[in-house]
Structure 1
Amino acid sequence: MNAPDIATLTDFRHELHRHPEVSGEEVETARRVAGFIETAGPDLLLTGLGGHGVAAIFAGAEPGPTLLIRSELDALPIEELSHAVYRSTIPGKGHLCGHDGHSSILAGLALELGRMRPARGRIVLLFQPAEEDGSGAAAVIADPRFDQIRPELALALHNMPGLPFGVAALDEGPFACASAGLRITLAGRTAHASMPETGLSPLQAVSRLLPALTALGSGAPLGPGFSLATVTHARMGEPTFGVAPGSAEIRVTLRAITNEDMASLMARAEALATNIANEEGLGVSFSHHDAFDACFNAPEATALLRRALTDAGVPIVTTGLPMRASEDFGRFSRICPTAMFLLGAGVDRPALHNPDYDFVDALIPIGIDVFLRAIRTTLGGSATK
């Protein structure tokens, strides 16, 4: 990719960075992405996919498989602390995970594919909404128009501070954990603070549940059998001195290395809360939030990425894999073989989701090169349409 293209893509990344939008609100981000991609002349451009998703299709002259490459549109509800001239202009929101950079890599692929289509099959560049809360991939797949872009293979990347710059982490098998948020609501009866015995307080249930939920984690190393339960919030009654509490809420994030282990962990957490609530004479109800499938690197998709990385001269390690964190890309494993890799942003960079994090622009050409090699290996190349 030439220097003017890289400069254009860097400016585009900075424009996205200035205007972050969180999950489900990516209206202007999608508009900017669609406007840029349209200049590359895709054969089909879908907007409003699964909410605010954008998908561009570049078709070859001959029949063949459909290869999907995914990036994300959404930012985070975190105030950016940065001195960059392109820092966020939206209070309380920032591109502090690098989705602006991932989308710029796909924008670069669009420029290249606009000049040289694949020889066969189709490339789908998917800009997915609502990755951060785990709802976007499911919404895209549920959209009736998804059949127009249904792939036989899907690839993705994520930048990773802490990994040496330009080094890729890739391995076959589990890539990122399944996870879900469980909200537990306990219902008792309030009372005057001077006569707590006339009410039904959730105090004892909460005091029992907090350590018991945490103990559900396996304590196993990150691998087969791993699970983790993290209490993220607890509230009991109202912030007052005159009323003994009659209700409580606990939020816990559950994660496991496989979807099956995740389902088992969720069932055990709900059974635990039900048993303790019953013993304390309380009502109990549950709701589920931010559900992520396990992210799994299939053999054939992993082999394709490994070859592309090797051909691009990118060193490959397995450091940090699988990840404790979750990735909404895992949902696409229900559709087709998938694979994802981490691309190192440097060892001394702020971590993802830190308020001073910023995507490293120099990763843009590396990401484009790797994905373009995967495309050409799978579908070949042809002259401009």
Structure 2
Amino acid sequence: MLTNSDLIELTEFRRDLHRFPEISGEEEETARRIVAALGPLNPTRVLTGLGGHGVAAVFDSGKEGPTVMFRAELDGLPIEELSGNAWVSQVPGKGHLCGHDGHMTMLLALGRLLQRKPVAKGRVVLMFQPAEEDGSGARAVVNDPAFEQIAPDWAFAIHNEPGRPFGHVSTRAGLINCASQGLAIRLKGVTTHAATPEEGVSPVPVVAELIPALNALGVGGELDDAFRLVTITHVHVGEPTFGIAPGDAVIHATLRTARDEAMEDMVSNARRIAEEAGQRAGLRVSFEDCDVFAASINDAEATRVAREAMDALGISHGEDDLPMRASEDFGVFGWNAKAAMLCLGPGEDYTPLHNPDFDFPDDLIPIGAGIFERIARDLLEAVE
């Protein structure tokens, strides 16, 4: 059990992380802080530099058994914080406005519990993952050769999710978070004088054609296996002037599906439509894939384990507001492990994620750590 001193120290650590957010791929100092905080917990070993700045602390019983991984995220967001708290971000234009500072602190709390009462078999891995917000971190960690040393049999994560009662958990077997991908479509023609547009090659007609054509690839609807959604998020054509007929344009579209296979199909169709339209108009067309997130699919057995742990702790749970259209860079860990994501409520009217006023509620730290500990002990049997 976490003591009052634990909670005071962990809260201060969380707020210190909050003051100094780093965005995806830049989490060097955050990783250093995590490694320093892990030192007194005496993990069996600590791996650093995983997939960039990732950190993994291993608590190994020395006896044969499964590997159980618990994941948190290192990165903040490129958003100016406006909370006004005493621990407000000190980094202009960046903030921990998704709660990753709280998620990291939950894992450190779990580490304290494991130090005091080790597991009897197998090992626990505390995974501090880089670059969650842009969807690149989990793949980079899993593809890192060092990850083979700690490849988990089970993987669990908690994300705070406003809109749910405080301390209530939403989870389910099956789809939790959609796959998503940003697709940048660049159209290159020939710029000319606005008085003689026929002497150039304008992308304007193709942009006008592509917006409804792309939207038609995914119109939303029920979040079942057939779900597909395309959202046009940005369009830029030429320069903001009146004397030039534009020669270039860019369209940003976010594609969402319930399954990774469906995403591959939709991206292929979007590229084909843009290529054909560009060719008909005499434009050069190029593409860039951005923010690629796999679907997060909860394993049925892992979900059962999590539910039984919450039942034992008397924590209310259900399938409220699931699955979600929003994406989460946790699904990759479920490709080779029995994985489950849990959505922990900070309050029904709590400030939304990615809002400039958001701040992680510290009272969630012992709840999340307690759920993780119970899962670990149920799977690995604590030493009495």
TM-score by shorter chain over 0.5: yes
* AA aligned opposite 2:27: E
* AA aligned opposite 2:299: A
Distance apart, 1:137 and its partner CA: 0.6
My pick for the range that moved more, 42-51 or 91-100, is 42-51
* AA aligned opposite 1:254: L
Distance apart, 1:287 and its partner CA: 1.2
- Where does residue 277 of structure 1 map in the other structure? 278
* AA aligned opposite 2:170: A
Aligned residues: 383
Distance apart, 1:217 and its partner CA: 1.1
- Is the contact between residue 309 and residue 315 of structure 1 (CA under 8 Å) also seen in structure 2? yes
**Corresponding residue SS for 2:343:** strand
1:188-234: per-residue Cα shift (whole Å, max 9, x none)? Answer: 11111111110010010001111221121143212221111011111
Distance apart, 1:257 and its partner CA: 0.4
1:241-267: per-residue Cα shift (whole Å, max 9, x none)? Answer: 322111111010001001011111111
Runs of 4+ in 1 over 4 A off after TM superposition: none
Q: Is 1:291 the counterpart of 2:292 in the alignment? A: yes
* AA aligned opposite 1:182: L
1:25-65: per-residue Cα shift (whole Å, max 9, x none)? Answer: 01111111110011100000111111111100001142101
* AA aligned opposite 1:153: W
Distance apart, 1:381 and its partner CA: 1.2
Distance apart, 1:300 and its partner CA: 1.2
* AA aligned opposite 2:244: V
* AA aligned opposite 1:173: G
TM-score of the superposed pair, with normalisation by structure 2: 0.98
Q: Is 1:125 the counterpart of 2:135 in the alignment? A: no
**Corresponding residue SS for 1:111:** helix
- Where does residue 80 of structure 1 map in the other structure? 81
Q: Please list, as runs of the form range in 1=range in 2, the aligned pairs for 1:15-34 lying within 5 A after superposition.
A: 15-34=16-35
**Corresponding residue SS for 2:355:** coil
Runs of 5+ consecutive residues of structure 2 not aligned to the other structure: none
- Where does residue 314 of structure 2 map in the other structure? 313
Distance 1:335 1:7 in 2: 37
Distance 1:57 1:139 in 2: 19
Q: Is 1:68 the counterpart of 2:61 in the alignment? A: no
Distance apart, 1:83 and its partner CA: 1.5
**Corresponding residue SS for 1:161:** coil
Distance apart, 1:307 and its partner CA: 0.7
**Corresponding residue SS for 1:382:** coil
* AA aligned opposite 2:23: V
Q: Please list, as runs of the form range in 1=range in 2, the aligned pairs for 1:174-189 lying within 5 A after superposition.
A: 174-189=175-190
- Where does residue 106 of structure 2 map in the other structure? 105
- Where does residue 228 of structure 2 map in the other structure? 227
* AA aligned opposite 1:287: E
Distance 2:43 2:254 in 1: 41
Q: Please list, as runs of the form range in 1=range in 2, the aligned pairs for 1:1-385 lying within 5 A after superposition.
A: 1-382=2-383
Distance 1:268 1:236 in 2: 23
TM-score of the superposed pair, with normalisation by structure 1: 0.98
Distance 2:139 2:344 in 1: 25
Distance apart, 1:180 and its partner CA: 0.5
* AA aligned opposite 1:219: G
Distance 2:318 2:346 in 1: 14
- Is the contact between residue 66 and residue 123 of structure 1 (CA under 8 Å) also seen in structure 2? yes
Distance 1:382 1:50 in 2: 33
* AA aligned opposite 2:22: E
**Corresponding residue SS for 2:135:** coil
